[in-house]
Structures are given as structure tokens and as C-alpha cells.
């Protein structure tokens, strides 16, 4: 069986691509099982008796492309239970809580445990994700997920839209292959990067992307992100209204991608915030933006309050709108202004510093706001050769005679050649 094969109590399943030989293991799961090679054209149920004498069966089903093996250890002879050939249900699903579904799906994808041929469905408030075989129990336990037998509908395979865009765009044939096949999509707006030779045709191109992808606006990334307010440098190529609602992991982010950045590379960190247990805590989000971290924390966890500080009035106005849109008015308190002017000291159980380049300059403020024994999530962009020493030194310097205990260091993304965006979670003991 291939690496997606697995054994779970009472059952084993595996998938292999034809026309390979099937290596099938017989025996009660967990017992010493002996491999047996079966010709790949087998498509009927088959059964054997395990070496220890207990009756077992294994069935081999065939789809257009895969052989599906499904075995079950039985306590009674097979004939007493199933009078005819065994019908194999090749579709397995894992049921998981809705708020954990996106994080779980990402991990399943990374571990190659996502069945991309079937659809993810909502069921009774939970989400069921198709898998080719039961994932490792450690992964299931981490998300409180359970394997279930379920008939899931096939996923609709769409044709790649770039083929249609390249076919229909009004550009010289020689340039068609240069049309970007990747873009950042926020709701019904995209941001494209175009190489120089496409500049003359950018308006026609934008029209083609908008038509095929069903967009209301197409923007061009002209100069990355600039300034203290982290504003994107953008040219609008198509459309007039560029404000959109982007949904990620169940959170609604309303904003204008022509004026406000949204880092796709930080998605995992936003999901981590959704999973960060902080019941009853007071949290300060020093660089709140439109609510990147405050919203998932407020929606999926139970903090007492989150003070969300944002200096840019445009981002702040979307923050206010998003707090209402996600119905967390009683938790997130928007604050317009420089976080260094936030009043109070030693009141935050947790301080989030989701900023890059000059974050260390704000450490004295974070240390002022955090309680003795509280946690700072310190983001930094750091040359690779200085990880993690520089971040740890900066944290330590900011607490003087206090103590910094590192709880976790996580590399978020590559920021520039040789530079990484990382986050250090650190518990802070203030000097006596």
C-alpha cells in the first residue's frame, strides 16, 4: 500500500494506483500482519483467515484510477454477517469542529491526507473533510477530529481559468504565455503583478481577468508595501469600486486592497490566533490593522477584551466595520492612534506585535502594557544568520533585569532574500 495507507482500530484502508500490484496486509489490525501480493486487476472481495485463527476479511474495490482496500477484523465468520460480496465505500471523511476546520485542512493538505476528488461539506454544525485513508491519530487528536464513513459528493473539477484568460485576452499571441497565472484574490478583487512587456496592454488584460474570474476590480501591484502605515502601492486597472469583503477561516475582512495591505503569507499565523486559548484574558493588539489577528481571536476564543490599536484612520475605519461584521463589538475595542499613547500599564495578559521591520522600537511599550507573567507575541523580520539570537536579545534588553521565557519561535514566511519574518512568543517576568 502507499503512504496514505493506514490502520485504525477495527479497520485498515489503503489506496494504490493501477496498474501496480497491491500489497495487502491480512490480520487483525495491530496484530502481526503478513503482506501478500495480489495482482492489480483484482476487483472482487476477498478474504483470508489470520494466522492466529481469527476470521478476517479484506475487500478490494476499484475506481477508475485507484484500488481501494478496506479491511475489517471480524469476531464472527464473514458468512454470518454479509451474505454477498462486500460493497466497499471508498470515501472516508474526518469530522472536525467548524472553527478548527481550516487549520486542520491545511495540515491534512501538508501531510498529503486530503482527498481532492471529493467535496468538503458542512454537517450538523461540523465540517467533514474527505481523506483517502485515516490520518495519523496524533493529527486527529490535535483537532479532536474523528474518522467517519460517509458518502461525500465529488468535487467539481474546474478548468484552470488562466487557460481561458490567455485564450481570450486581447494581446499579441507572442505575449499570451507571459500572462501571470498567479494573483492575490481578496473577495471579488485581485492584485496582479505584470512584467514590463505587458504594460501597454494592461487595461485589456485586466478586462480579461475580470471577465473570466467574475471580478469587480483588478489592481496592479506597482511597488509593494510602503511606509509606517504599510500601505500598498497600487494602480487600479479595472473597476471603480475596489472595496471588498474577503472571507478567510470564517472571518469577514472588509477592506480596500487599493489602500490597505493584507498579507496572504500570514494566513497560518491568523489561523494560529484563532486557536490560541485565551479565556478571560485582556489582550492588546498593538498593530491591529483591519483586525487581522484581533478578529480570529475574538470570534473563536473567549478573551474578556481586546484593545485593538491602529494608527492609520483608513485601516481603523475598516477595523470598526469588521468588528460589527463579525459581531464581536462586546470584545474588541478599537483605538485610533499611536500604540505608544495607549494609556495604562501592566494590564494585558497578552500583547500582539504584528508588525515588521521596526517592531523592536515598540518593545518598551509592549513591556509597559503587559502584566508580570504575561505573554508578548513579538514579530520581527530578521536576517537568517541572526535567528533567533537578535530577537531574543532585543526582548531581553527591553525587560532589563526581568526575565524572558521563550515559549515558541515560529518562522512565518520568507520576507526578502536571506530575511525571514518570524514570531517569538515570550513570557515576560518584570524586574522586581
d(CA 394, CA 410): 16
- Which CB, 98 or 229, lies closer to ligand SAM? 229
Q: Under the criterion CB under 6 A, does residue 253 sit at the interface with ligand SAM?
A: no
As measured in angstroms, the least distance from the Cβ of 322 to ligand SAM is: 13
**70, 143, 253, 262: residue in contact with ligand SAM (rule CB under 6 A):** 262
For 271-325, give the DSSP string: HHHHH---TT-EEEETT-TTTTTHHHHHHHS--SEEEEEES-HHHHHHHHHHHHH
d(CA 293, CA 326): 13
**Backbone angles phi and psi of 431, in degrees to 5:** -60, 145
- Which CB, 56 or 310, lies closer to ligand SAM? 310
- Which CB, 128 or 261, lies closer to ligand SAM? 261
As measured in angstroms, the least distance from the Cβ of 379 to ligand SAM is: 7
| Burial class (CB within 10 angstroms; exposed 0-12, middle 13-18, buried 19+) of 408 | exposed
Stretch of 130-138, 163-171, 183-191, 222-230 contacting ligand SAM, by CB under 6 A:
222-230
As measured in angstroms, the least distance from the Cβ of 339 to ligand SAM is: 4
**55, 334, 354, 374: residue in contact with ligand SAM (rule CB under 6 A):** 354
Instruction: Return the ∠ at Cα 347 (arms to 345 and 352), rounded to 5°.
Output: 95
Do 193 and 199 contact (CB within 8 A), yes or no?
no
d(CA 61, CA 68): 5
Do 89 and 60 contact (CB within 8 A), yes or no?
no
Residues in 263-322 at the binding interface with ligand SAM, rule: CB under 6 A:
263, 266, 270, 287, 289, 292, 309-312, 315
Stretch of 32-40, 52-60, 223-231, 241-249 contacting ligand SAM, by CB under 6 A:
223-231
As measured in angstroms, the least distance from the Cβ of 402 to ligand SAM is: 23
As measured in angstroms, the least distance from the Cβ of 51 to ligand SAM is: 56
Stretch of 16-24, 104-112, 212-220, 258-266 contacting ligand SAM, by CB under 6 A:
258-266
- Which CB, 33 or 332, lies closer to ligand SAM? 332
Q: Under the criterion CB under 6 A, does residue 242 sit at the interface with ligand SAM?
A: no
As measured in angstroms, the least distance from the Cβ of 345 to ligand SAM is: 17
- Which CB, 178 or 230, lies closer to ligand SAM? 230
Q: Under the criterion CB under 6 A, does residue 338 sit at the interface with ligand SAM?
A: yes
For 184-218, give the DSSP string: EEETTEEEE---GGGGGGHHHHHHHHHHHHT-SEE
* Residue 256 in grid coordinates: 480596500
The count of chain residues that interact with ligand SAM, using the rule CB under 6 A, is 20
Residues in 30-89 at the binding interface with ligand SAM, rule: CB under 6 A:
none
User: What three-state secondary structure class fits 417?
Assistant: coil
| Burial class (CB within 10 angstroms; exposed 0-12, middle 13-18, buried 19+) of 406 | middle
- Which CB, 4 or 312, lies closer to ligand SAM? 312
**255, 355, 378, 415: residue in contact with ligand SAM (rule CB under 6 A):** 355
Give the bridge partners for 93, in sequence order.
Answer: 130, 148
**178, 185, 211, 230: residue in contact with ligand SAM (rule CB under 6 A):** 230
Angle between helices 161-168 and 202-213 (to 10 degrees): 140
As measured in angstroms, the least distance from the Cβ of 298 to ligand SAM is: 15
Stretch of 33-41, 60-68, 125-133, 228-236 contacting ligand SAM, by CB under 6 A:
228-236
Q: Under the criterion CB under 6 A, does residue 361 sit at the interface with ligand SAM?
A: no
Residue with cell 484574558: 281
* Residue 277 in grid coordinates: 486559548
Which residue stretches of 326-388 are H helix?
A: 363-369
**97, 98, 229, 390: residue in contact with ligand SAM (rule CB under 6 A):** 229
As measured in angstroms, the least distance from the Cβ of 246 to ligand SAM is: 11
Do 282 and 304 contact (CB within 8 A), yes or no?
yes
Residue among 28, 38, 26, 93 nearest 62 (CA): 38
**149, 170, 228, 329: residue in contact with ligand SAM (rule CB under 6 A):** 228
**Backbone angles phi and psi of 99, in degrees to 5:** -70, -20
Q: Which residues bind ligand SAM (CB under 6 A)?
A: 228-230, 261-263, 266, 270, 287, 289, 292, 309-312, 315, 338-339, 354-355
Amino acid at each position: 500500500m502507499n503512504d496514505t495507507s493506514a490502520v485504525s482500530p477495527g479497520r485498515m484502508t489503503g489506496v494504490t494506483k493501477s496498474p501496480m500490484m497491491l500489497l495487502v496486509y491480512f490480520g487483525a489490525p495491530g496484530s502481526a500482519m503478513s503482506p501478500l501480493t495480489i495482482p492489480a486487476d483484482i476487483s472482487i472481495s476477498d478474504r483470508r483467515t489470520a494466522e492466529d485463527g481469527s476470521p478476517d476479511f479484506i475487500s478490494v474495490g476499484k475506481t477508475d484510477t485507484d484500488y481501494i482496500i478496506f479491511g475489517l477484523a471480524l469476531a464472527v465468520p464473514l458468512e454470518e454477517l454479509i451474505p454477498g460480496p462486500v460493497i466497499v465505500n471508498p470515501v472516508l471523511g474526518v469530522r472536525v469542529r467548524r472553527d478548527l476546520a481550516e487549520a486542520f485542512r491545511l495540515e491534512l493538505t501538508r501531510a498529503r491526507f486530503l482527498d481532492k476528488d471529493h467535496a468538503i461539506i458542512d454537517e450538523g454544525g461540523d465540517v467533514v473533510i474527505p481523506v483517502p485513508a485515516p490520518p495519523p491519530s496524533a493529527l486527529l487528536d490535535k483537532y479532536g477530529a474523528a474518522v467517519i464513513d460517509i458518502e461525500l459528493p465529488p468535487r467539481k473539477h474546474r478548468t484552470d481559468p488562466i487557460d481561458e484568460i490567455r485564450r481570450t485576452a486581447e494581446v499579441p499571441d507572442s505575449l499570451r504565455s507571459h500572462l501571470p497565472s498567479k494573483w492575490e484574490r481578496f473577495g471579488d478583487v485581485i492584485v496582479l503583478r505584470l512584467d514590463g512587456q505587458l504594460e501597454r496592454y494592461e487595461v485589456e488584460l485586466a478586462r480579461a481577468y475580470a471577465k473570466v474570474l467574475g471580478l469587480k476590480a483588478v489592481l496592479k501591484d506597482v511597488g509593494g508595501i510602503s511606509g509606517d502605515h504599510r500601505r500598498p502601492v497600487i494602480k487600479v486597472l479595472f473597476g471603480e469600486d475596489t472595496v471588498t469583503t474577503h472571507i478567510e477561516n470564517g472571518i469577514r475582512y472588509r477592506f480596500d486592497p487599493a489602500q490597505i495591505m493584507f498579507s496572504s503569507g500570514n494566513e497560518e499565523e491568523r489561523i494560529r490566533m484563532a486557536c490560541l486559548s485565551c479565556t478571560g484574558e485582556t489582550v492588546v493588539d498593538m498593530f491591529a490593522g483591519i483586525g487581522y489577528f484581533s478578529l480570529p481571536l475574538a470570534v473563536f476564543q473567549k478573551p474578556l477584551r481586546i484593545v485593538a490599536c491602529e494608527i492609520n484612520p483608513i485601516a481603523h475605519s475598516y477595523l470598526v466595520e469588521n468588528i460589527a461584521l463579525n459581531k464581536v463589538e462586546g470584545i474588541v475595542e478599537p483605538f485610533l492612534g499611536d500604540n505608544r499613547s495607549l494609556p495604562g500599564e501592566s494590564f494585558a495578559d497578552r500583547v500582539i506585535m504584528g508588525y515588521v521591520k521596526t517592531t523592536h522600537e515598540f518593545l518598551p511599550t509592549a513591556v509597559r502594557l503587559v502584566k508580570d507573567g504575561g505573554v508578548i507575541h513579538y514579530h520581527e523580520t530578521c536576517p537568517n544568520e541572526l535567528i533567533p539570537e537578535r530577537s531574543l536579545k532585543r526582548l531581553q534588553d527591553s525587560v532589563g533585569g526581568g526575565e524572558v521565557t521563550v515559549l515558541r519561535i515560529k518562522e512565518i514566511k520568507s520576507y526578502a532574500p536571506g530575511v525571514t519574518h518570524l514570531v517569538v512568543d515570550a513570557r515576560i517576568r518584570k524586574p522586581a
